[in-house]
A and B are shown apart, each in its own frame.
Chain A
Amino acid sequence: MSRQASFGAGLWGGALALLLTGCQAGLRPIAALNQPLSGLGDSQSPSLNSNWLALISSRPGSRAQVQLIDRLRHAPVPLPGLNRPDSLPISVAVDQRGERLALVRQRDDRSELVIHRRSLQASQVVPIEPAGVPQRVSLSADGRVLAVEVSRGGLWQVDLLELP
């Protein structure tokens, strides 16, 4: 009986190992991209597409900031006009072209939703109507639809905006 149990456990373990190995074979770290990421300190709020990775990074003693990594060059690109010394980014999303970034940030003790266009180096604050506190943002890869999680009157809601 114990031999049968042992045999069964062995079979199960082998099958599990095979399953794990098989699945792991499909999940391969992209070293060329992970290397620059490891140099950014703590990082969170990823927004990935085949060309770009947007994220929020922070190092001890310095303010968190939005980073946009060019996946072809495996390096961050400058974001003039987006990161401000008086604001703290909370959530970020980028479209497929890397042209539009949607950002929720905290500024002067309030949260605001911002759309940034890289080619114009310009940011637009989008009013939350009815009033609410934005928290997390999603931008469709085609850059045309924005979904934002908003806390409103004790309820979490999702606001949708269509961009031209």
Chain B
Amino acid sequence: MACTAVTALGLSGCSLWPLRRQPAAPAGLAAESRQQPALSGDGRLLASLVDRGGRTTVLLQERRTGRVLPLRQLRNRQPHSSPSLSWNGRYLALLVQQGGRRQAVIEDRATGQQHPLFLPADQEPQQLSLAPDGQSIALELITGGSRRLQVFSLAAMLEPDRAPGLLESGGGPPLQP
């Protein structure tokens, strides 16, 4: 039965779960090279890297419509890499170029604020992953020739960006049944 469902959707071979493919390239971007996709926690937004005038630039779009959302704060800090989104897409974390080195930053799309994450000079960030609630971040760091992951709390820096229906911390008494 599962095989039938998958075949009907155009996939080959037997499958445990049916999958549905969606064209990833919205109008006007079909022939453009796109790398390093990152989905928001709810899957509504897609960040990816595209080429803009020879500079690798992050592009934020609504996944279903392809509508491009503005990211004004990140101009002139290319090349961008390793985008990562929070649950509702309020926060976009990524690596930008700062002087001669990469720097991890978090853009708060709700306030327009940008939060740079300062690291010791001997630690170069290579990749990152922002927790969907925006309360912690994992950084892949090159230290002394080896790759290490370190996780940092952002609770003192960012408000939570949780899935709808979840209470904010300190947001009042629990709901009564």
Contact = CB atoms under 8 A, between A and B. Distances in A.
B33 A155 contact: yes
Contacts of A55: 138, 149
Contacts of B118: 20, 23-24, 27
Given A149-B37, A160-B46, A127 B117 contact: no
Contacts of A38: 148
Nearest to A29: B152
Contact of A127 (B11, B20, B127): B11
B156 interface: yes
Contacts of A149: 34-37
A47 B146 CA distance: 19
Given A141-B42, A157-B24, A160-B46, A42 B147 contact: yes
Contacts of A9: none
B22 interface: yes
B97 interface: no
Contacts of B137: 48
Interface in A113-162: 115, 117, 120, 122, 124-127, 129, 136, 138-142, 144-145, 147-149, 155-162
Contact of A26 (B41, B151, B157): B157
A136 B151 contact: no
Contacts of A20: 118
Interface in B1-39: 10-13, 15-25, 31, 33-39
A144 B34 CA distance: 21
The contact size tier of chain A is 35 or more
Contacts of A129: 10-12, 21
Contacts of B112: none
A100 B115 CA distance: 31
A148 B16 contact: no
Contacts of A23: 115-118, 157
Contacts of B21: 129, 159-162
B74 interface: no
A33 B87 CA distance: 22
Contacts of A96: 41, 132
Contact of A46 (B39, B41, B128, B155): B128
28 contacts: A20-B118, A24-B118, A26-B154, A27-B117, A28-B152, A28-B153, A30-B151, A37-B151, A42-B148, A43-B149, A48-B137, A49-B132, A96-B132, A120-B16, A127-B13, A129-B10, A129-B11, A129-B21, A136-B35, A136-B37, A140-B41, A140-B43, A145-B39, A145-B63, A147-B48, A148-B37, A156-B34, A160-B22
Interface of A: 20, 23-30, 33-34, 37-38, 42-50, 53, 55, 96, 115, 117, 120, 122, 124-127, 129, 136, 138-142, 144-145, 147-149, 155-164
